[in-house]
Structure 1
């Protein structure tokens, strides 16, 4: 249950199958600005970790562990319903469903959510610590996935198949 005065933070990481300038990920890269822009205009959107602002790069400059193909998306939403509406109720869903075309299977959980006080902008390090906690300890109030949230509904029919997160 969402605590009063808190928003929902989420981190999603993935390792691109190829460098960002490779034709194999061109369609993904070409649509980053479009999808990120849509997210920013959605009701309930609060904040997004930004990259350089260079067109067509999204947040890909914020490489994880020095790996330029290991990219992230870190956002804050007013509530779980707002995030679900964006992920599975917009054109974002079409790109989500195509993720296997552009991303490697990581072999462990690559997505985490947690509550942040309203106005807090989490850092990538903070988010990666939450993801590590989820992978090591399982879902808790400290770090959780969709299944942990009673208010989450759309993910049940649209979300990752278990194999995609294992």
Structure 2
């Protein structure tokens, strides 16, 4: 997807946690959220991320399934988000995602363009991923593959042929 002028990239990623967020088996995940979020915030091209009362986004549960947690952020470009996801310590935590998250059907990431200065709500982000799930990639919501992401192809931790 071509980045329109005067637009940034918004992203939502969701996951179904295996255990309650305060379960000791989630400790390696929760104890490193501040580290990973801090790296994101200091990364070139980072614009904004959604934060709730928890200091991250782990208290926000917009789905009927209370074990689905969300992350929403805005980046200058696909390249900026890719560099953070695949070329920082984030990649190591992503590689361990099965320790903390269950596999579920449907997309776990939605990307879309927002006008510079726009901060998407969680409801807007959820609507984008639902649109992606129901209609497939489009200008309204797309995934890594249709974002023409380059690092995603080589650096992701998913088996060949599987969408990360």
Q: TM-score, normalised by structure 1?
A: 0.92
**Correspondences of 1:94-113 after superposition (within 5 Å):** 94-113=92-111
Aligned-residue offset at 1:144: 0.1
2:151 equivalent to 1:154: yes
Cα distance in 1 between the residues matched to 2:63 and 2:106? 16
**Matched residue pairs, number?**
161
Cα distance in 1 between the residues matched to 2:33 and 2:62? 18
Counterpart pick for 2:67 among 50, 63, 69: 69
Aligned-residue offset at 1:154: 0.2
Q: Give the superposed CA RMSD.
A: 1.4
Aligned-residue offset at 1:65: 2.1
Q: TM-score, normalised by structure 2?
A: 0.93
In 2, are the aligned partners of 1:28 and 1:102 still within 8 Å (CA)? yes
Aligned-residue offset at 1:158: 2.3
Per-residue Cα deviation, 1:22-64 (whole angstroms, up to 9, x for no partner): 011111000001100110010100000002154xxx2101112
Cα distance in 2 between the residues matched to 1:18 and 1:53? 17
Counterpart pick for 2:134 among 133, 136, 142: 136
Unaligned runs of 5+ in 1: none
Aligned-residue offset at 1:164: 6.1
Aligned to 1:28: 29
Counterpart pick for 1:89 among 87, 90, 106: 87
Aligned to 1:16: 17
Cα distance in 2 between the residues matched to 1:94 and 1:119? 31
Aligned to 1:41: 42
In 1, are the aligned partners of 2:47 and 2:75 still within 8 Å (CA)? yes
Cα distance in 1 between the residues matched to 2:94 and 2:68? 17
Aligned to 1:124: 122
